[in-house]
């Protein structure tokens, strides 16, 4: 493992967690193909691959990637990491062999990568798709089309995600991941990575990439984002510029100072937001408790 992330003695005064900066990005995967029903197919289009590769070229610091188990999310991260500049360290990368049925295996070095950057895209189940979203999709789409016929200026996808956010009871009744459950899953991953900041070697500056799916990120933002006027969350997606597009996301900038004190901001579409860290921790704890309960069943 890279020296950037190794921390065998995190209690040594001053050696860890001082003057650390971590960019933690959560993004919707890049442009996917489509199934006959209009759902995302499990591969990226050529445009999606090009977009991910172009984004990789903008990475300028040591980077590590996390992904949903879905191939379109893995491909988004893989294309970014394959196309980092020559001088950028890619941390702990190993190819995932599709024939290995989800098991991580060391494979050939990715085309265009330095041999020392053999890599591991770490899979996180919390980044996976919303469960049974296809069950709420038809009624959400019907409602969205009705809004458009009534002269709504909003796009269909944006309205579909708005319907999902506004109807948690319907999601629950249909066996779809509820908006709060989706928020808890993203919070679980975010909480772990934000906490990592204090465990890194002092003076580290790294980037962590997380690829997930719509509509997982919008419910999380609704729960934890603090508006410039002090309001928590939002009612309409219009307040944050609409639902997130393929390849789009937000970043946490997590920093510690010389004394080890930590601050965290969120960047979304060029706007800086305060976030409710206690809410993130609470949501993460909710998921941890649900996982424990499921293991006992």
Q: What is the pLDDT of residue 196?
A: 94
Whether 142 maps to a domain, the answer reads no
Q: The domain that contains 198 carries what CATH number? A: 3.40.50.1240
Question: Does 126 map to a domain?
Answer: yes
Query: Which tokens in the block code for residue 247?
Result: 């390849």
Q: Could you tell me if residue 35 is inside a domain?
A: yes
| DSSP letter for each residue of 228-291 | TTS-BS-SSGGGGTSSPPTT-EEEEEEEE-TT--EEEEEEETTEEEEE-HHHHHHHHHHHHHHH
Q: Is residue 241 one of the residues assigned to a domain?
A: yes
* Domain range enclosing 109: 21-131+177-296
Provide the number of structural domains found in the chain. Answer: 1
CA distance 214 to 39: 11
Question: Rounded CA gap, 124 and 208, in Å?
Answer: 13
Please, what sign has the CA dihedral across residues 240, 69, 131, 288?
A: negative
pLDDT at 186: 98
Q: What is the DSSP letter of 216?
A: S
- Specify the pTM: 0.86
What are the tens digits of pLDDT across the range 82-117?
899 989 888 854 434 444 444 444 334 343 434 444
Give helix 179-196 / helix 277-296 axis angle, nearest 10°: 110
Classify residue 157: in a domain, yes or no.
no
Q: Is residue 8 part of a domain?
A: no
């Amino acid at each position: 493992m890279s020296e950037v992330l190794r921390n065998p003695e995190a209690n040594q005064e001053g050696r860890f967690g001082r003057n650390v900066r971590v960019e933690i990005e959560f993004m919707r995967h890049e442009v996917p193909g489509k199934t006959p029903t209009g759902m995302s197919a499990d591969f990226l289009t050529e445009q999606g691959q090009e977009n991910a590769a172009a984004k990789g070229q903008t990475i300028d610091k040591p980077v590590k990637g996390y992904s949903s188990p879905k191939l379109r999310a893995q491909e988004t991260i893989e294309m970014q990491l394959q196309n980092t500049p020559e001088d950028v360290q890619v941390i702990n990368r190993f190819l995932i062999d599709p024939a290995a049925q989800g098991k991580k295996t060391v494979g050939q070095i990715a085309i265009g990568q330095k041999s020392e950057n053999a890599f591991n895209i770490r899979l996180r189940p919390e980044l996976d798709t919303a469960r049974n979203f296809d069950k709420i999709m038809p009624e959400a789409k019907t409602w969205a089309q009705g809004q458009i016929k009534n002269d709504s200026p909003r796009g269909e996808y944006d309205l579909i995600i708005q319907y999902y956010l506004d109807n948690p009871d319907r999601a629950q009744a249909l066996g779809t991941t509820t908006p709060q459950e989706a928020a808890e899953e993203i919070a679980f991953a975010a909480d772990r990575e934000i906490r990592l900041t204090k465990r890194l070697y002092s003076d580290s500056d790294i980037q962590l990439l997380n690829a997930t799916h719509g509509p997982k990120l919008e419910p999380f933002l609704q729960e934890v984002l603090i508006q410039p006027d002090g309001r928590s969350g939002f009612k309409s997606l219009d307040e944050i510029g609409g639902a997130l597009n393929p390849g789009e996301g937000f970043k946490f900038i997590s920093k510690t100072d010389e004394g080890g004190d930590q601050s965290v901001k969120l960047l979304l579409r060029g706007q800086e937001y305060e976030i409710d860290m206690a809410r993130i921790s609470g949501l993460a704890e909710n998921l941890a408790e649900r996982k424990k309960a499921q293991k006992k069943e």
